Amino acid sequence: MPADRDMERIVSLCKRRGFVFPSSEIYGGLASCWDYGPMGAELKRNVKNAWWKAMVQERADVVGLDTSIMMHPEVWVASGHVQGFTDPLVECRACHLRWRADEIKSQRCPSCGGELTEPRMFNLMFKTSMGPVEEEGSTIYLRPETAQGIFVNFENVVTTSRKKIPLGIAQIGKSFRNEITTGNFLFRTREFEQFELEYFVKPGTDGEWLDYWVKERFDWYVKLGMRKENLRLREHDKDELAHYARACYDIDYLFPMGWSELEGIANRGDFDLVQHARQSGRDLSYYDAEAGEKYVPYVIEPSGGVDRSVLAFLIDAYDEEEVEGEKRTVVHLHPSLAPIKVAVLPLSRNERLTPLAREVHKQLSPGFMTDYDDSQSIGRRYRRQDEIGTPFCVTIDFESLEDKQVTIRDRDSLAQIRVPIEELPKTLEAKLKGEAFDASSLWAAREK
């Protein structure tokens, strides 16, 4: 890992290159809320697409869902969130800052040293009211996890999808938690996105499926270029398990502030379906026609944070190196995650080069997210593309006018090859798709 990798450099890169901006910045920002800029929006979408492809598209046993953020308030009674989704909160009697009691080491305020109140349990769900009149009974919550939208639709999905158990239901969407303390950039915020799979299995097979999903999820990050040595698995102790979990593993990432959770894979047993059956009065058991058996399935849940993954992918890909005596900042994102796949760069803005360069851009943009940039020196434009992680730059020079060939520059090796314009889409496709981008060999070569 490069020694100079720290969060401030990532935050600064994100601002400088349009990945992430503070929310409502012209009003001074809003604590722990962030907006994704043009590059960040692409990166985040690519992370979600990669997840959806691996978890839904490429599997016959998983279907997708997109449920509402606001749900019937009884959902959160059944799920245990109204009663138990709390953190212990203490407040400083002097400066009134609030802290999570389980996260501070001493009995005094970490900011001013003042005396703290006794801890009280603080519910993390955001409350609002539905309809024009704020009255009792109109209180609803913003969902703190997407999972419950899946559980309450279990019956709908089983009856309409013609799938049998084991069956997974996947969802990506926003969740909200009124966290007492936030921070570390995108790591802990009050509004965030999750990707969650609820994988319904026959009781008794849950142990095997938990192991299976832990491995699948760990490998997903590695396949997308994250270095193995920056990932680890951690099993939860019995006393730290969530109220619904029988067992849980965290995939931790080595963030600049230390090892922290990237994703959790939990065995939720039959907790949720049993609770919802009880609260709603609906029978949520499953009938296995082949075996002639009826049972309430157990659930294995890989649950990750989109924003946390975006942050981890960026940190992992970030590098500073020296090239011919000059510092180069480069983000070695996996090509499938890179916001821009190819940049078209005419050597200069010029009435002879511009039409050809525009033509090349038009040829490439239906197939790839393509940038076009003809301002400033070519060196500065390469630097910008390196910083946003663009795998390939296509340069059009005066020779191109004669021989109808252009140069492809490779972000990682800096190798340049010349190819005929008509072969450009095919060549880039082959390079982007496969000639497998192997992050571990890239980093191994770099660290030598």
Binding site for ligand GAP (CB under 6 A): 145, 147, 177, 179, 188-189, 192, 194, 196, 261-264, 301, 303-305, 307-308
Going from the C-alpha of 168 to that of each of 46, 55, 147, 253, 354, the distances in angstroms are 22, 9, 12, 25, 51
Shortest separation between residue 79's beta carbon and ligand GAP, angstroms: 10
Angle between helices 7-16 and 306-317 (to 10 degrees): 100
3-state secondary structure of 135: coil
**Residue written as tokens 């999750």?**
194
Give the residue with the Cβ less far from ligand GAP, 177 or 409: 177
Asked if residue 199 lies in contact with residue 265, where contact means CB atoms within 8 angstroms, the answer is no
C-alpha span between 195 and 217 (Å, rounded): 12
Cβ 188 to ligand GAP, closest distance in Å? 4
C-alpha triplet 39, 40, 43: angle, nearest 5°: 90
CB closer to ligand GAP, 246 vs 328: 246
**Residue 20: how many other CB atoms lie within 10 Å:** 26
- From residue 236, give the alpha-carbon distance in Å to each of 102, 228, 245, 253, 345: 16, 20, 10, 15, 51
Of 437, 377, 448, nearest in space to 410 by CA: 437
Name the minimum Å distance from CB 398 to ligand GAP: 50
- Which is closer to ligand GAP, CB of 41 or CB of 369? 41
The nearest distance, CB 197 to ligand GAP, in angstroms, is 10
How does 295-329 read in b/e, with b if 16+ C-beta sit within 10 Å? ebbbbbbbbbbbbbbbbbbbbbbbbeeeeeeeeee
- Which residue number, 262 or 439, has a Cβ lying nearer to ligand GAP? 262
Closest distance of CB 150 from ligand GAP, Å: 9
Closest CB to ligand GAP among residues 298, 392 = 298
Q: Which is nearer to ligand GAP, 187 or 392 (CB)?
A: 187
Q: Please provide the distance, in angstroms rounded to a whole number, between the alpha carbons at the two ends of the chain.
A: 12
Minimum distance of ligand GAP from residue 186's CB (angstroms):
7
Cβ of residue 80: shortest distance to ligand GAP, in angstroms?
Answer: 12
Which lies closer to ligand GAP via its Cβ, residue 199 or residue 443?
Answer: 199
The nearer residue to ligand GAP, 62 or 360, going by C-beta atoms, is: 62
Question: In what side-by-side order are the strands of the sheet with 167-176?
Answer: 62-65, 167-176, 191-201, 298-305, 258-269, 247-255, 231-235
Least distance from ligand GAP to the Cβ atom of residue 190, Å: 7
Bridge partners, 121 (sequence order): 88
Q: Determine the residue with CB nearest ligand GAP.
A: 305
